[in-house]
Amino acid sequence: MHEFVEAFRFIAHNGAVSGAPGLPSLTHLTLETLRVAAIGLAIAVAVALPLGVWLGHLHRGSFVAINVGNIGRALPSLVVLAVGDAFLGLGLTVVELALVILAVPPIVTNAYLAVDGVDADLVDAARGMGMSGLEILRGVELPLAVPLLFAGVRTAAVFVVSTTTIAALAGFSGSLGDVIDNETSYHFSGVLGAAICVAALALAVDGALALVQRALTPQGLRAGALELSSDTAHAATIV
Amino acid sequence: MKIADTAQSEGPSVFAQAAELELRNVSKRYPGQREPAIGDLSLTVPAGEVCVLVGPSGSGKTTAMRLINRMIPITSGDILLGGRSVLERDPRQLRREIGYVIQQVGLFPHQTVGENIATVPRLLGWPKDRISARVRELLELIGLDPQEMTRRYPAQLPGGQRQRVGVARALAADPPLMLMDEPFGAIDPINRARLQDEFLRLQEMVKKTVVFVTHDIDEAIKMGDRIAILRDGGVLAQYDTPREILTHPADEFVAQFVGADRGLKRLALTKVAELKLAEPNGLRADLRADGRADGVRRVSAETSVRDALSLMLTEGGEALTVVDGDGRVEGLLTLGVIEQLLADEAAEPAGDAAEPQPEGPR
Amino acid sequence: MTFAALAAASGPVIPNFAAQSSSCEIHNRLFCAGWVSRNWGPVLWPALRQHIVLALVAVAIGFVIAMALALAAHRYGWLERPTTLITTILYTIPALALFELLAAPVGLNVFSAEIALVSYTLLILFRNILAGLRAVPAEVLDAAEGAGMSRTQTLLRVELPLALPAIVAGLRIAIVTIIALATIVYVVYDRGLGVPIHTALGEGPFKTELIVAGGLSILLALLADGLLVIAQRLLTPWARIRTS
């Protein structure tokens, strides 16, 4: 499959295409993708994580928390971006808005389930020892919620990277998606090369977050970052 | 699949409803363990009898039971059911002929009570109407209303009912042997007593060969026609009727295991009606409504001697008037009568375990 | 060459703007009923139908593969880790990239589309089926074995029925995810609701087409989810019983 060879050559040349000097380099596009994705993820985490955690701590709002996840999953990235483009014009702000809308559901749902699902006996014991609500949250619930919580963040992160590239299909320039959508200029080898970069980027982001998760997981719970959740209820909604 | 009349589906019928069970030099050793779980166990359960395996934890009683239906592979020795070695049979076929009751019951949560009971008959390929008739029959047998219960789910039943359904499920295909592993262990004491009585009543009717595992010596005495006391490593300390074990414990271990109150336990085995009562001696017993008559309490002849003694002690050691079912006075129960009973029993030579002693009604 | 490139290269193709464009369309209002009724037959319905087929085929194949993997991992526990690893990697690769990566060896056809979509179902289905099987209480398995059920009989009559809630939960997530993802399929295979969305994007973007095609995808996903919920209720009557 010589296309892959050509693709790797494309990558090796940092995206330079003979006869088209003005094209942005792969490094630039990759970093741009990362930047856009990071901003979107950061906002989504800032909004969704505390909300999900708080609802889970109070054991309220389960219907909303879980169904937000269901509905969020039904929203195609392309449609959200296209709607943004049609009604607001696709600038960075609108793209970030779309990213946040798509990233919030998995984060909220998983954060809710993670904190809500902490063994009630443990929380009860903590309360019996005189810990306040906030102390319980910080000392008992959050540490135990890390695996499931991070599963949500990792899902959202990959989703955000993916959507950033899809934004190119809607007309947003400034990500590796530009290359994939622009076969005329980059030829198929370029498209393939960019696809490889996108895949690598997503895996790298997920891997990095897995390391962070590992670092934050309390000693006693540590297992592989890819551990299968054996709890059926959790498996039901984790993605 | 051949449709069988009883659970038996391979070869000619060697037994009808209850088969003799023999363990012959059975041993079980787990790899990497120095001591065997069961060293060398031999015993025979005559057809239609309840044999209770009892002992402290680690004695291998549950292991021994699970060897019989091959849930655990045997290391050496043989187990014969109705004269046929279980080792030669296909394990699945074998288990369809053995009723299996466990402590947590294990009813299938996704099936109704009726479907649960029908499990083995369905595996054996019984026709539908035969199965529904059988389910109805069994529910009535265990004291539940078929109309109501057949379509309920296990989650809707309280623990005691669940365990009864578990027993019904085990009986469904009319197996010649029943294995019961601490079946009433997870039930509260009141319901446990009730379930035990019910099972004894059932056993009177169906007369199955039963291997019953428990750690509770009182349950063993109550339920067993014969008790096999096991110690560490599956070593058989004594295999005898409850009366023999209580009267003549084989060694220190058995005596300790049975408990320091075995004298009293013995008294529970005998009914007042069996004793040589004292003559009323002209005591004119005017029976009054509260059971007291001329300062003498009356007690039913069906009462166990132990309960009668307990009543006597609360009344300050007075004699009790024994009356039969119609209220007729049979005699007087005094402490002296009881002492005589104990003396007579102690004077008896130790019974031979190989000869089944017909027990009086319990 | 990708379809998208082809479309772009030949200039805007406007199959859905008839000569008689109403004022609604010219002003690109939110929803032009006239346009919808005119184009339902030629454009929207075929796209919807293709979308349904794409999604159903993907989830069906994914289910079969995931079931096989889960049954294997249930029997041979060591298979769980490598399977989870591989399916996670597949799941992590962004859709756009995976479609293109597959198009290289497989070509611009239905196979690239379906292979990619199937890959996205594997992780969630594998994980849920396995979790469901493992959640069967030990004493229930003991009772089944003690009653004389063979391994297969235990699996079919006891384990799988009891695993149904988890399996259906996984199917719900899978079908919704795939329906959403199938909107991107058009970059390698011109079928599905992504086609009208792509066309609409090239036209301004043309709001009505966008709203309708996008809305259809979302509604389809919610419908599929709802149907599976109903199916689960019907298949697992015992799960709704309140314990006494």
Query: Tens digits of per-residue pLDDT, C12-62?
Result: 344 455 445 677 777 777 788 888 888 888 889 999 999 999 999 999 999
pLDDT digits (tens, 9 = 90+) for C56-70: 999 999 999 999 999
- Assess contact for B298 and B321: CB atoms under 8 A: yes
Measured between beta carbons, the chain B residues lying within 8 angstroms of C154 are: none
Interface check for B167 against chain C (CB to CB < 8 A): the answer is no
CB contact under 8 A, A236 and C166: yes
Minimum distance, in Å, between the CA of residue A216 and any CA atom of chain C: 21
Which residues, 6 or more positions from B1, have their beta carbon under 8 angstroms from its beta carbon?
A: B9, B124, B125
CB contact under 8 A, A82 and C105: no
Select the residue from C158, C160, C233, C242 to test the B interface by mutation, using most B Cβ atoms within 10 A: C158
* A70 vs C194, C213, C225: nearest CB: C225
CB contact under 8 A, C236 and B110: yes
CB contact under 8 A, B104 and C238: no
Distance, in Å, from the CA atom of A34 to the CA atom of B50, rounded to the nearest integer, reads 75
Interface check for B92 against chain C (CB to CB < 8 A): the answer is yes
Q: What integer is the mean pLDDT of B119-128?
A: 94
- Assess contact for A27 and A73: CB atoms under 8 A: no
Whether A239 shows a pLDDT value over 90: the answer reads no
CB contact under 8 A, C96 and A166: yes
Chain-centre distance of CA B58, in angstroms? 21
Q: What integer is the mean pLDDT of C123-143?
A: 95
Whether C214 shows a pLDDT value over 70: the answer reads yes
* CA nearest neighbour of B65 among B238, B228, B250, B232: B228
Q: What integer is the mean pLDDT of A80-91?
A: 88
pLDDT at A225: 40
CB contact under 8 A, A162 and C94: yes
* CA nearest neighbour of A37 among A144, A163, A171: A163
| Nearest residue of B to residue C165, measured between CA atoms | B110
pLDDT at B223: 92
Higher pLDDT residue, B283 or A212? A212
pLDDT at B105: 92
| Nearest residue of B to residue C152, measured between CA atoms | B92
Whether A232 shows a pLDDT value over 70: the answer reads no
pLDDT at A183: 85
Q: Could you tell me the pLDDT band of residue A66, with boundaries at 50, 70 and 90?
A: confident
pLDDT at A230: 32
Residue found by looking up tokens 């020892």 in the block: A129
Per-residue tokens: C218: 């979302």
Q: What is the DSSP letter of A22?
A: T
pLDDT at C244: 40
Binning chain B into helix, strand and coil, the percentages to the nearest 5 are: 35, 20, 40
What are residue B304's DSSP bridge partners? B271
- The model's pTM: 0.83
Three-state SS for B80? strand
Q: Which chains have 3+ CB pairs within 8 A of C?
A: A, B
Q: What is the DSSP letter of A175?
A: S
- The Cα diameter of chain B in Å comes to 74
* CA nearest neighbour of C211 among C199, C222, C197, C223: C197
Q: Could you tell me the pLDDT band of residue B1, with boundaries at 50, 70 and 90?
A: very low
DSSP states of B90-114: -HHHHHHTEEEE-TT----TTS-HH
Q: What integer is the mean pLDDT of B153-165?
A: 92
**A168-198 burial, b for 16+ CB within 10 Å, e for fewer?**
bbbebebbbbbbbbbbebbbbbbbbbbbbbb
Q: How many CB atoms lie within 10 A of CB B59?
A: 25
Interface check for C134 against chain A (CB to CB < 8 A): the answer is yes
Whether A87 shows a pLDDT value over 50: the answer reads yes
Q: Share the mean pLDDT of chain B.
A: 84
Q: What integer is the mean pLDDT of C208-225?
A: 94
Q: Is the reported ipTM for this assembly greater than 0.95?
A: no
Per-residue tokens: C230: 């109903």
Whether B168 shows a pLDDT value over 70: the answer reads yes
Whether B14 shows a pLDDT value over 70: the answer reads no
Whether A86 shows a pLDDT value over 60: the answer reads yes
Which residues, 6 or more positions from A171, have their beta carbon under 8 angstroms from its beta carbon?
A: A85, A90, C201
Q: What integer is the mean pLDDT of A182-210?
A: 91
Q: Share the mean pLDDT of chain C.
A: 88
Distance, in Å, from the CA atom of B216 to the CA atom of A20, rounded to the nearest integer, reads 89
Q: What integer is the mean pLDDT of B300-323?
A: 81
pLDDT digits (tens, 9 = 90+) for B83-120: 999 999 999 999 999 999 999 999 999 999 999 999 99
Whether C195 shows a pLDDT value over 50: the answer reads yes
Q: How many CB atoms lie within 10 A of CB C13?
A: 11
Q: Do chains C and B touch (3 or more CB pairs under 8 A)?
A: yes
Minimum distance, in Å, between the CA of residue C149 and any CA atom of chain B: 6
Peptide bond into C161 cis (omega under 30): no
Q: How many CB atoms lie within 10 A of CB A55?
A: 19
Whether C158 shows a pLDDT value over 80: the answer reads yes
* C101 vs A73, A177, A192: nearest CB: A192
Exposed, middle or buried by CB within 10 Å (0-12, 13-18, 19+), for A137?
A: buried
Whether A234 shows a pLDDT value over 80: the answer reads no
% of chain C exceeding 70 in pLDDT:
90
A positions 164-203 inside 8 Å of C (CB): 165-166, 169-171, 177, 180-184, 188, 191-192, 194-196, 198-199, 202-203
pLDDT at C242: 56
pLDDT digits (tens, 9 = 90+) for A118-166: 888 888 898 888 888 888 888 889 988 998 899 899 999 999 999 999 9
